[in-house]
Structure 1
Amino acid sequence: MEDFSYVLTSDLDLFVRVKIASLEGFRPQKTFTETLDDPYLRHTATTKTTWNEWLVIPVKYRDLPLTAQLAITIWDVYAPRKAIPLGSTTFALFGKNNTLKKGKHKLYVWPWEEADGQLHTTTPSKIQEFTEMDRLEKLMRKYECGDIPRVDWLDHLVFREIEKINKHECATSKKLFLYIDLPQFDFPLVFNEKEYPLPPPTHPRAVDSDLILVADPEIARDNPVESKHRKLARSHRNGPLDRDLKPNAKIRDELNKILRYPPTQNLTTEEKDLLWKFRFYLTRDKKALTKFLKCVVWTDPVETKQAVDLLLVWVDIDVEDALELLGLTFENFSVRHYAVLQLKKADDDELLLYLLQLVQALKFENLGERPNVLESPLAEFLIDRGIKNPILGNYFHWYLMVECEDKMMGKMYARVAYQFMTNMTEVPEQFHRRDVLRRQGELVATLLKISKELRASKEPRPKKIERLQAFIIDPKNELMSFPPLPLPLDAQVQVTGILPEKASVMKSALSPLRLTFSCLDGSEYMVLFKTGDDLRQDQLVVQIITLMDRLLRKENLDLRLTPYKVLATGTDHGMVQFIPSLPLATILAENYNNILNFLKSDQEGGTRSATVSSAVMDNYIRSTAGYCVIMYLLGVGDRHLDNLLLTRNGNLFHIDFGFILGRDPKPFPPPMKLSREMVEAMGGAASPQYQKFKSYCFIAFNNLRKSANLILNLFSLMVGANVPDIAIEPDKAVWKVQERFRLDLSDEEAIQYFSTLINESLGAVFPQVMEKIHQVAQLLRS
């Protein structure tokens, strides 16, 4: 049995739309006697009037009853300042199986009558007569919905014949028909009444009182008195008194307090009224716009117009605030268009940092309603920038490809991907890039094939490695050598083949492939190709690490982070950049005995120096501090010494981000992973190096707190993504990140707070026990 995807009308918060296409057929006639008696009556045999206009009805799909009908009356000019009904029709919006109708429809027009709109109407849109054209139009609706396969050459012939039949029937028919179009949605819309939450249970008695508590079922409804008061308080005037209004010192402090709120903070009614009152004064503050737009009542057309007009005079906002305006909260088209205009100020490198979230923001663009993808300012902007910059376009393409696999939004993303490819081929100098993306897809498909085979195989690892190398050498697979191709994982790198002698299969249940690509410039690039693992969560975490690294570098703080590249090429496979390094567990278990001995050894691990070079120790201290702060802020869990890696240059970094936002499979996890062995490598808790480590932690924590709104806005755009630890509680995801920034603390209090976290992590006993258990489990597995 095939899966059937659908959407309930109760979940669709959009206005009903209908396109009035044309009026065709035989115009109703009055008798010759009636025409003589009334000179205003016109006598015309046939008519064809074309409008092609979309009408937006101020009723939302979620509020439609099952018996909803469109009552359409066509009016004709009768006399000066007077009209008469030329005809009418009544069309039921829901069809069989309680499914909302869509696509093109031909409605019979009843002459000289007004539509009554009744359930048992006297002006129905369908009559008993069934012509050949009616049958063909029914088939055409199926064709437009994709139920009938498309064959271009045959379709042209059929359409020509249909046009002849239609022209013939219009010429011979004595009836009048109205043609309308209904929106085409990605999924069928099935009628469902909105379910309202039940009021809280009535308590028999209040605590320490004889009063009975009764729930008020109307407590969540708008109070008309308060609504009227709001309109009076806000005063819809737009005159000089409003424009020249300035706050006194006390009110200015209140406004500044509101502007410092994080994006998740809900505004009170009083705060909203205050922002509205001083809206003209606030236009000079770029941080005030997002807060002001939250105070607007968007169902009020007067307020909406004033708010949109103010966008034209408001000082330009930062990119981080523009990202907030692209979230689910802001539906107004003008606001979202304004946000895109601000995004255009970002250069390609900065835009690449936010691209993952901007692709997710397409879900909030109502693209299902738009016949053309380019009607969305965000989609048009991303497509344009993706065409102009091949690196940006590479990642945009792969982000879209993964989202195309989504059951709910896949069709929408497929439309965006198709438009991206179409626009690309229309630019002469970009035409070849379509072939590049096709070749990348073929490369990924080939690697996916061998990866799945090896993963399913029960052969020992040496045999799997032998099979992999033979697969690469086989000429028909075209892996050993091929024309230069941008690597999907890192489009700045041109690869020309895979070195078979350096290919391997890693020791893991998923048997990831370790591949070494030869590059056009003579260098090598090592990649892990994983199958059976959803890399989208790792991709998100590494993206945030990359962003945080850039933010810290802007503050002249280089913490030697290693944000290796991750790219999900599908929902269960992808590529990971391989950084030569060793897990701390391996370093402590093998002949190094401790981290310090490893840092003293040379690149091959043979000879060992008497001391660690200052550069290597500086790398170790900085990178350990950086990852301690970032892993705490993102709530990364399941931290053990096997997913903490260390390079010969002293760069420590984390891998495998299967648990984030405070989730952890182990009980009583510490705030961050900081073991006794890691501190001993710095010289112990009393050493100057350890104090330097703590100082880096404090500076990084406070610097990243300054950019908390940007991080929160990025996570807010990801709440609809299929990232496992966000999908568990999407409404709490942003709050979990915000909680760790401790925005309620001053810089001095934040330093004391983080110092406590370091001491708590270092002194935790239970994680040490769990680490021993994990080591035993790894030995048994090997």
Structure 2
Amino acid sequence: MPPGVCYGMQDVWEKGGREQVTLEFLLPTGIYLSFPVARNDTIGTIKKMVWKNARSEPLFSVLSDPDAYVFTCINLTAEREELEDESRRLCDVRPFMPVLRLVAREGDRVEKLINTQISLLIGKGLHEFDTQKNHEVNEFRAKMRSFCEENAQDRQRLPWHQWMKCNFPCDLEPFSMVVQSGKSCSVKKLLVNVKFEASELVVQAGLFHGGELLCKVVTSSEVSVCSDPVWDQKLVFDINLCDLPRMSRLCFTLYGVLEKTKKQRSTKKKNKKADCPLAWVNTMVFDYKDQLKTGEFLLSTWPSAPEGCCYERGGKILLIRLCEQSVRIHKTEGIGQVYTALTRCDPSRCCSQHLKLKEIVDNKNHTEFFEHEKELLWKLRLDVRAHYPESLSKLLLITKWNKHEDVAQMVCLLRTWRDLPPLHALELLDYTFPDPHVRSFTIRCLKKLGDEELFQYLLQLVQVLKYESYLDCDLTTFLLERALSNKKIGHFLFWHLRSEMHVASVSLRFGLILEAYCRGSIYHIKSLMKQVSTAREVILLISHSILQMDFSFTINVFYFGLSPDRCKFMDSKMKPLWLMYKNKWDHLDTVGIIFKNGDDLRQDMLTLQMIQLMDVLWKTEGLDLRMVPYGCLSTGNKTGLIEVVKNADTIANIQRNSSNNAATAAFNKDALLNWLKSKNPEDKLDQAIEEFTLSCAGYCVATYVLGIGDRHSDNIMIRENGQLFHIDFGHFLGNFKAKFGINRERVPFILTYDFVHVIQQGRTNNTKEAVCVLHRFRECCEQAYKILCRNGTLFVNLFALMRAAGLPELSCSKDIQYLKDSLALGRSEEEALKNFKVKFNEALRESWKTKVNWMMHTVAKDNR
């Protein structure tokens, strides 16, 4: 084969249309065929063409029926692949070389076909799971396959109305560090293969339970930097083996000690610390079978990761040796005796102690405790269970997990703890609560979630899978069970998992869950295959079209149902593709999707989820603020889909179209009102202004609470019916935009005078009517804010669970402090409302600063 032919093949796959490529075919008879086929031809079509051409070749009569044979090729990962699914197009197969071999089928054809389809769906060959040679992986796959396939069989036996509800659900709305007998058996050797700028290397090791350090961190001696540094020493931990909780994690951090720092600290050698963290890794002390890990382990380190995640596979390699000793952790001992002791506690309590206990549990922002508070909580733990069960998290936080007796008593309490409301139980999925009894209790509470509620919080539930220490866990089983019983939940579970398959730290876990779901939802595979194929095709087409500056080429090869005259590339850095499809239920209507390639949409998904939740909470209290939480879905590495809100335009466009000068367009206060008048003549105008007023109130409160940044006139839109809404949420939690070190966003939320001008219907500020409508608008904002404050803990918990996603602006606990402050956690409703009124007045008084920022944005955009 000529040099470069493989590169040429990839160019063919990245083109569109019905471009042809010449393929060579090797038949079972030893005959070679060569003829051109279209890149969009299916494997089944190509097989028919092969049979037609083979009729005139020798030995054709010895061939069996076409169904007895299957094509094989070398795929892009240089592996032999059987093309069992003959509905696939050649451009989807993307063979490494233009050669297909026809071979006799062997084994179970249906099984092979399903395995092939699952591999394509999850983006990882199932053989990769086999090559792990990992007992935990093998046992998990076998268990989940059995569970999901039995679930599928049970589903087929359902009455027809239940089967329909499951498969065609209505649209869901948001509603060893081992110590034994006091003697330590420790790491004997640490081997690290890394290169960096430092004079010496040092390793720190610690034992953790969730976020709690179980005993003092130990530090190795320093060794000189080399290609293979070695530590030959024992690291001794001050904790007894019997006190190690079941979910103990052994955490290593590699530091580089800079020469300059070393000299500076030479006089304080005892207090000398490593300066530059280079890599970290952690591993469970006990394996998935409750067995103490022993022997040598190769741990792949990570440069950084969200807090709480237990990742054992990464980049640089750390070799450790745990003592050669087999110890199995037993079930918590002494439960019966402990329970008896607890029930015999003296019920008499001091009134002052009860008042102090109530103060502690009522403080929503109270997560750190003084020692006397810890002692009181633990002393009155029976009272917490009886009277304040929703404060379980506080009791778990002060439990001494490095003391076997305390753990036994906590487990005893948990067994008789009454179920929490599901939204309160969500908090317990955080990494700070790793105990298996706690997590089982949490899932028991979450099982009470209806499908609508589960769908609302699915984004967080997928992310906290990263906090699970083992593959087989209650959360995974729970999600699979609910996904298999409701196709829409299953659909979004698939995409939430699939969108992060490129992340090495979770690809194994997520891939295994995806495999299990597919095996239990064979009927769903076909539509998912089409979606995955479409997403890949769009990315290739976008890349080619931008490169060739030929958008019409992209449209011509795209799927039927598209309205080419209404599609376009949008005017932003990543050139998102605006696609309009014909509505298959209403041929006079269209459905719009924005396809983005190059932006991480998970932060937009989270923000829109919160806005949707706010809308639900407001409506529950009888307040409809006409919000527009449009759809958004991340489908892969910096790729995803955004719903097009039809009949809407940006404030920037409306202002520009009403002015001849970009510099003054932002200051034209009549532009918005005139635009609404043009879209809503006569008696429709009052309703449009009502829609504007309510939606403006909702987004003022939402953007303030969430700390949404980068709010300029191109990120705020208005529908023709008057609804205002925000888009593009690349900055939140108070991460506001700055230019040359100067903060460009200086108001708590967007409430400009032209907004007020619309709300007041153009009346002057000193008229009675204008004062009344502005007062009503203010009251709407205040009522909406009070409702959110009453549910503040829920929002904080949901953001806390999303730390596992590793979003740049949400990666650790301190990132959530803005949200706690904006929701006034720990403060009375009166105090919270008083502060909000100050913010409201500030936004109104200093709206001119917003207008200046909009003007700068508009001028900068026009000068590109």
TM over 0.5: yes
**Number of equivalent positions:** 538
Cross-structure match for 2:416: 313
Cross-structure match for 1:757: 839
Task: Give the alignment partner of residue 631 of structure 1, picking from 700, 703, 707.
Answer: 703
Question: In the alignment, is the contact (CA less than 8 A) between 2:190 and 2:318 conserved in 1?
Answer: no
Larger Rg: 1
Deviations 1:146-199 (A, max 9, x none): xxxxxxxxxxxxxxxxxxxxxxxxxxxxxxxxx999899545884489xxxxxx
Task: Give the alignment partner of residue 675 of structure 1, picking from 748, 752, 757.
Answer: 752
Task: Give the alignment partner of residue 853 of structure 2, picking from 746, 763, 770.
Answer: 770
Deviation at 1:717, TM superposition (A): 1.1
Matched ranges for 1:703-722 at <5 A: 703-722=787-806
Matched ranges for 1:528-547 at <5 A: 528-547=594-613
Task: Give the alignment partner of residue 261 of structure 1, picking from 352, 363, 383.
Answer: 363
- Residue 662 of structure 1 aligns to a residue whose secondary structure is coil
Deviation at 1:723, TM superposition (A): 1.5
TM-score by length of 1: 0.64
Deviation at 1:413, TM superposition (A): 2.0
Question: In the alignment, is the contact (CA less than 8 A) between 1:259 and 1:291 conserved in 2?
Answer: yes
Cross-structure match for 1:735: 817
Deviation at 1:250, TM superposition (A): 2.7
The letter of the residue matching 2:755 is M
Instruction: Return the alpha-carbon distance in structure 2 between the equivalents of residues 183 and 325 of structure 1.
Output: 31
Mapped pair 1:390 → 2:487: yes
Percent identity, aligned pairs only?
29
- Residue 627 of structure 1 aligns to a residue whose secondary structure is helix
Question: In the alignment, is the contact (CA less than 8 A) between 1:635 and 1:662 conserved in 2?
Answer: yes
| Worse-superposed segment, 638-647 or 413-422 | 413-422
Cross-structure match for 2:384: 282
Task: Give the alignment partner of residue 362 of structure 1, picking from 460, 465, 469.
Answer: 465
Cross-structure match for 2:574: 510
Kindly tell me: are residues 456 and 337 of structure 1, through their superposed partners in 2, closer, same or farther at Cα, counting changes over 3 Å? farther
The letter of the residue matching 1:696 is C
- Residue 574 of structure 1 aligns to a residue whose secondary structure is strand
Task: Give the alignment partner of residue 372 of structure 2, picking from 261, 266, 270.
Answer: 270
Mapped pair 1:648 → 2:732: no
Matched ranges for 1:451-530 at <5 A: 451-457=542-548, 459=549, 463-464=550-551, 466-472=552-558, 479-480=559-560, 497-522=561-586, 523-530=589-596
The letter of the residue matching 2:859 is V
Deviations 1:384-429 (A, max 9, x none): 111111111111111111222113333232222223223x1xxxxx
Cross-structure match for 1:554: 620
Deviations 1:417-460 (A, max 9, x none): 223223x1xxxxx3211222222111111111112223344x3x
Deviations 1:342-396 (A, max 9, x none): 11100111111111111111111113xxxxx3x2111111111111111111111
Question: In the alignment, is the contact (CA less than 8 A) between 1:242 and 1:280 conserved in 2?
Answer: no
Deviation at 1:256, TM superposition (A): 1.9
Deviations 1:549-589 (A, max 9, x none): 11111111111110001111112111000002111122223
Instruction: Return the alpha-carbon distance in structure 2 between the equivalents of residues 675 and 578 of structure 1.
Output: 26
Question: In the alignment, is the contact (CA less than 8 A) between 2:339 and 2:409 conserved in 1?
Answer: no
- Residue 593 of structure 2 aligns to a residue whose secondary structure is strand
Deviation at 1:668, TM superposition (A): 4.9
Deviation at 1:288, TM superposition (A): 2.0
Cross-structure match for 1:585: 652
The letter of the residue matching 2:454 is L
Mapped pair 1:441 → 2:532: yes
Larger relative contact order, structure 1 or 2 (CA cutoff 8 Å, min sep 6): 2
The letter of the residue matching 1:618 is E
- Residue 678 of structure 1 aligns to a residue whose secondary structure is helix
Q: Once superposed, what is the RMSD of the aligned Cα atoms? A: 3.2
Deviations 1:472-519 (A, max 9, x none): 2xxxxxx11xxxxxxxxxxxxxxxx33333322222232211112234
Deviation at 1:722, TM superposition (A): 2.7
TM-score by length of 2: 0.58
Instruction: Return the alpha-carbon distance in structure 1 between the equivalents of residues 448 and 296 of structure 2.
Output: 39
5+ long unaligned stretches in structure 2: 1-133, 137-175, 192-226, 232-293, 300-311, 321-336, 660-669
Kindly tell me: are residues 192 and 273 of structure 1, through their superposed partners in 2, closer, same or farther at Cα, counting changes over 3 Å? farther
- Residue 575 of structure 1 aligns to a residue whose secondary structure is strand
Matched ranges for 1:399-438 at <5 A: 399-422=496-519, 424=520, 430-438=521-529
Question: In the alignment, is the contact (CA less than 8 A) between 1:245 and 1:281 conserved in 2?
Answer: no
Kindly tell me: are residues 560 and 186 of structure 1, through their superposed partners in 2, closer, same or farther at Cα, counting changes over 3 Å? same
- Residue 283 of structure 1 aligns to a residue whose secondary structure is helix
Deviation at 1:97, TM superposition (A): 6.6
Deviation at 1:302, TM superposition (A): 1.8
Instruction: Return the alpha-carbon distance in structure 2 between the equivalents of residues 719 and 382 of structure 1.
Output: 20
Instruction: Return the alpha-carbon distance in structure 2 between the equivalents of residues 772 and 326 of structure 1.
Output: 45
Kindly tell me: are residues 616 and 188 of structure 1, through their superposed partners in 2, closer, same or farther at Cα, counting changes over 3 Å? closer
Mapped pair 1:597 → 2:674: yes
Instruction: Return the alpha-carbon distance in structure 2 between the equivalents of residues 561 and 467 of structure 1.
Output: 38
Matched ranges for 1:48-87 at <5 A: 64-67=186-189
Question: In the alignment, is the contact (CA less than 8 A) between 1:617 and 1:650 conserved in 2?
Answer: yes
Deviations 1:231-269 (A, max 9, x none): xxxx97843665452544432222222112336621222
Question: In the alignment, is the contact (CA less than 8 A) between 2:750 and 2:843 conserved in 1?
Answer: yes
Cross-structure match for 2:629: 563
- Residue 582 of structure 1 aligns to a residue whose secondary structure is strand
The letter of the residue matching 1:323 is L
Deviations 1:104-159 (A, max 9, x none): xxxxxxxxxxxxxxxxxxxxxxxxxxxxxxxxxxxxxxxxxxxxxxxxxxxxxxxx
Question: In the alignment, is the contact (CA less than 8 A) between 1:596 and 1:612 conserved in 2?
Answer: no
Instruction: Return the alpha-carbon distance in structure 1 between the equivalents of residues 190 and 640 of structure 2.
Output: 48
Instruction: Return the alpha-carbon distance in structure 2 between the equivalents of residues 263 and 333 of structure 1.
Output: 26
Instruction: Return the alpha-carbon distance in structure 2 between the equivalents of residues 452 and 404 of structure 1.
Output: 21
Kindly tell me: are residues 387 and 759 of structure 1, through their superposed partners in 2, closer, same or farther at Cα, counting changes over 3 Å? same
Instruction: Return the alpha-carbon distance in structure 2 between the equivalents of residues 590 and 741 of structure 1.
Output: 38
Deviation at 1:632, TM superposition (A): 0.7
Mapped pair 1:353 → 2:456: yes
- Residue 239 of structure 1 aligns to a residue whose secondary structure is helix
